[in-house]
Amino acid sequence: MTSIDELIKREVNPFDLINTKVGNFWGESQDSTQTVESIHQEAINEIDDLLNLVANDYRTRTALLVGDSGSGKSYLLGRLKRTLNSKAFFTYISPWADNDYAWRHVLRQTVDSLIQIPEGQQESQLILWLKGLSAFTKRSLKQRIFNDNFWQVLYSDRKKFITHLKNTYKKEGIYNSEIFFGVLHDLIDPELYPLACEWLRGDNLSEESMQALHVKQCIDSEDAAKNILENFGKIATDTQPIVLCFDQVETLPNWSLNPQVLFNINTTFHNDNLKGFLIIISVVKDPWNQIVKRIAQSDKARIERQVNLKPISLDQAEALWRYYLKPLHNRADNLPKSPIFPLSRQILEQNFPGGKTHARTSINLGSIKYREYKLSLPSIVAGLSGATKKGGGESITTGKITEKERFYAEFKLIWQKEYRKTQTKIAKISLLGATDLIQMLMFALDALQIQGIKPKLLTGTYASYSLSYQAPGKRERIGIIWTEDSNMNSFFNIMNACQKVVHNNLCSSLYLIRISSVGNSKLVGNKLYQQIFQNSKNIHIKPSLGAVQLLATYRSLVNSAQSQELVVGGKTISYSELKTLVSETSILHDCTLLQNLNLLPQQKVDVDFKPAKDFLLNVVKTQSFMGVPTLIKQASEQFSPEINDVKIEQLIKELIQENQVKIFNPKDKIQEQLICLVA
């Protein structure tokens, strides 16, 4: 017989399993408030109405999604995508790193989202969008009668494909129509599809890749990026709209002083014939109220609807609790009398006397009260040794752990989970633009308390690829250039800019961070590279993918902290508090790139599954005690397929041998064993 109390002892706090750090809804597994349909249903209906209007007349519209911190804005974007993806193509636009690259960032992230495959579909949004164009869906009677192989002819003949689209859309004024339609054709070829996507997203391709696509230049300017986005709208008047979801906009560069860049982009979509878009701008209420007066009235007029996320009722908060506790209740031999046991409605009424709260606040409260109940069970004695429960027999004893230690453990778990997601999303360094790479590095330098960090060491086109800082404990300035552009003309121009830095003595030493090729010895760019970085005080570092993923993980947490979405231990963490956490937990010390820059001591290569071992210990710290099978399952879900259950059991044994954890009832079957901290 398994009672509800026995399950509570064994299982993880269900509220701790909720992902409090939300980001890109493509690839995110979200425990979201759509489980209670009434939550924010009015907001969903408002946005659905706007989307229907765009679908009917293809005129671009904008919704401003405003809510308090913790009201569920990012979750709502994910819910909208899941609910409405059958009638629109959804894209997620994260904050850009440099205002000079705003349009290029929007294009890159639009294409990155369009290449995702929606639930229930076999093909990407981009291919579905292409097949839905009127050039392919609306055929004349003559075409239907005399050309039964219409599709096959167009797909197999690149020239006919381009000509057909040029004739169909000749009145639309397509930007670089020959090149654009040619790249659309290359999307159909499985071998060229990845290259065509890279060109559309604005990657600086190698000469060989451009030759394969029959193009002579890449999308290398803000105007070009805007024009390509405009092309998407001009030819898509009969297919589904594209929804652009701008999230965490509070973290945009100079947002508090100059939010105008974002709203200039929004107005351009309205004024410059960028048809068929629904733009959703998600913003925290307080920052919005602080900057709204700085936005031009003409730009405000381009926001058709402000959608306000309201607090939820106690009935809705109780429904959330019921949802997260239901799987636990279903496993008990006898269902508890209350569907929210071990919690109660009285807890909500005492903590929210006004009858209103936010989803995140109610979830945090549920986690705290659930843990309090778990530790109050009659057979539990926390921090005491040799205690006995009433009726005789030894009670479960857990080691003492301070709230600070628990807080650190929870942060490390959040970090590891975010890192695993980053590993999935960033499979190669070139997926990130140079401005993003530099911004990631700047955030890491700031976390390490490096002084005198300044962007744009280089001048000219590639200024945003660089930074400089003061060497720790010295008066010297260190320069860094990070570029993964595979185009050798671009590489030459960057090396030329580096040479000017060296000649003008703008820094004591210069680092080039680059994993991509530097070209062969016959190229002028390579010769400049040899002069600057070979046999000199200037150094070329080849970054590892793991190091970049670590930096990207931290940048993601920074964005969440700056937009008031990062929650640790039930507390919303500010950017300054995040930096303190990173410093105190040494979470970045495994980053080989920072080590190669001599900013951190070299670490030995991890060969003993330390991340998994740390994960196991941190889970026990946050839960106080739990079932051994549950702990194994948690680790397996986190580290599969790299580590199997046998290895996880071995790591648990190592923690026991190190006297960090213990099995309370080692003679019982493993299915019934409980693990806790050593008292």
Please write the tens of the pLDDT for every residue from 245-276. Answer: 999 999 999 888 889 999 999 999 998 767 88
pLDDT higher at 621 or 74: 621
Structural domain includes residue 109: no
Q: What is the predicted pLDDT for the residue at 72?
A: 86
pLDDT category of residue 36 using cuts at 50, 70 and 90: confident
Q: What is the predicted pLDDT for the residue at 139?
A: 59
Q: What is the predicted pLDDT for the residue at 152?
A: 61
- Range scoring the smallest mean pLDDT among 71-85, 192-206, 359-373, 397-411: 397-411
Taking residues 434-454, what's their average pLDDT? 96
Pair (423, 572) in one structural domain: yes
- How long, in residues, is the chain? 679
pLDDT category of residue 203 using cuts at 50, 70 and 90: very high
**Kindly report the CA angle at 82 between 80 and 88, in degrees rounded to 5?**
70
Q: How far apart are CA 93 and CA 628, in angstroms?
A: 41
**Is the separation of the CB atoms in 197 and 478 below 8 Å?**
no
Q: What is the predicted pLDDT for the residue at 48?
A: 96
pLDDT category of residue 456 using cuts at 50, 70 and 90: very high
Pair (536, 436) in one structural domain: yes
Pair (651, 662) in one structural domain: yes
Structural domain includes residue 304: no
Q: Is the pLDDT of residue 213 over 80?
A: yes
Q: Is the pLDDT of residue 26 over 50?
A: yes
Q: What are the strands of the beta sheet with 674-677, ordered from one edge?
A: 625-627, 674-677, 661-663
Residue 408's alpha-carbon distances to 57, 305, 404, 662, in angstroms, are 53, 42, 6, 21
**Kindly report the CA angle at 33 between 31 and 39, in degrees rounded to 5?**
180
Taking residues 316-340, what's their average pLDDT? 92
Pair (553, 466) in one structural domain: no
Q: What is the predicted pLDDT for the residue at 518?
A: 94
Pair (457, 536) in one structural domain: yes
| CA quadruple 230, 231, 235, 240: dihedral sign | negative
518: containing domain: 432-543
Prior bond of 641 cis (ω within 30°): yes
> In the predicted model, what is the mean pLDDT of the chain?
89
pLDDT category of residue 393 using cuts at 50, 70 and 90: very low
Q: Which two tokens stand for residue 263?
A: 């709203």
Structural domain includes residue 317: yes
Taking residues 115-141, what's their average pLDDT? 83
Pair (417, 566) in one structural domain: yes
Q: Is the pLDDT of residue 124 over 50?
A: yes
Q: What percent of the chain has pLDDT over 90?
A: 70
Strand partners, 280: 63, 245
Q: How far apart are CA 68 and CA 287, in angstroms?
A: 10
How are beta strands 61-67 and 277-284 bridged, if at all?
Answer: parallel
Domain of residue 663, CATH code? 1.10.10.10
- Closest of 525, 392, 511, 403 to residue 457, by C-alpha: 511
Structural domain includes residue 420: yes
Taking residues 412-438, what's their average pLDDT? 92
Q: How far apart are CA 215 and CA 232, in angstroms?
A: 18
The per-residue pLDDT for range 282-318, each reduced to its tens digit, is 999 999 999 998 899 999 999 999 999 999 999 999 9
Structural domain includes residue 253: no
Structural domain includes residue 55: no
Is residue 491 classed exposed, middle or buried when 0-12, 13-18 and 19+ CB atoms within 10 A define those classes?
A: buried
Taking residues 622-643, what's their average pLDDT? 92
Q: Is the pLDDT of residue 52 over 70?
A: yes
Pair (372, 421) in one structural domain: no
Pair (461, 516) in one structural domain: yes
Each residue of 353-363: b (16+ CB within 10 Å) or e? eeeebbbbbbb
Taking residues 478-501, what's their average pLDDT? 95
Q: What is the predicted pLDDT for the residue at 385?
A: 37
Q: What is the predicted pLDDT for the residue at 38?
A: 82
Neighbours of 468 (CB within 10 A): 21
Task: Establish how many alpha carbons lie within 13 A of residue 414's alpha carbon, considering only the half-sphere containing its beta carbon.
Answer: 29
Structural domain includes residue 195: no
3-class DSSP string for 482-497: ECCCCCHHHHHHHHHH
Q: How far apart are CA 639 and CA 419, in angstroms?
A: 11
Q: Is the pLDDT of residue 463 over 80?
A: yes
Number of domains in the chain: 4
pLDDT category of residue 500 using cuts at 50, 70 and 90: very high
DSSP conformational letter for 395: P
Q: What is the predicted pLDDT for the residue at 28?
A: 65
Neighbours of 378 (CB within 10 A): 10
Q: What is the predicted pLDDT for the residue at 402?
A: 86
Q: What is the predicted pLDDT for the residue at 120?
A: 86
Q: Which two tokens stand for residue 506?
A: 């703008």
Pair (501, 555) in one structural domain: no
- Closest of 340, 317, 291, 269 to residue 107, by C-alpha: 269
Q: Is the pLDDT of residue 528 over 80?
A: yes
- Closest of 499, 515, 518, 486 to residue 457, by C-alpha: 499
State the first-to-last Cα distance of the chain, in angstroms, to the nearest integer.
29
Strand partners, 539: 511
Q: How far apart are CA 250 and CA 562, in angstroms?
A: 7
Taking residues 52-65, what's their average pLDDT? 93
Q: What is the predicted pLDDT for the residue at 71?
A: 87
Taking residues 502-515, what's their average pLDDT? 94
Pair (630, 581) in one structural domain: no
Taking residues 474-499, what's their average pLDDT? 94
Q: What is the predicted pLDDT for the residue at 2?
A: 83
- Range scoring the smallest mean pLDDT among 225-234, 264-273, 489-498, 570-579: 264-273
pLDDT category of residue 234 using cuts at 50, 70 and 90: confident
Domain of residue 475, CATH code? 3.40.1340
Which residues does 585 contact at the CB level (< 8 Å), separation at least 6?
408, 411, 412
The per-residue pLDDT for range 69-123, each reduced to its tens digit, is 888 888 899 889 999 999 999 999 999 999 999 999 999 999 999 999 998 899 9
Task: Establish how many alpha carbons lie within 13 A of residue 356's alpha carbon, considering only the half-sphere containing its beta carbon.
Answer: 7
Taking residues 318-343, what's their average pLDDT? 93
Q: What is the predicted pLDDT for the residue at 651?
A: 94
Is residue 578 classed exposed, middle or buried when 0-12, 13-18 and 19+ CB atoms within 10 A define those classes?
A: buried
Q: What is the predicted pLDDT for the residue at 398?
A: 65
Pair (538, 436) in one structural domain: yes
Q: What percent of the chain has pLDDT over 70?
A: 91
pLDDT category of residue 335 using cuts at 50, 70 and 90: confident
- Range scoring the smallest mean pLDDT among 155-169, 314-328, 570-584: 155-169
Structural domain includes residue 183: no
Pair (420, 454) in one structural domain: no
Q: What is the pTM of this model?
A: 0.91
Amino acid at 447: A
Which residues does 376 contact at the CB level (< 8 Å), separation at least 6?
none
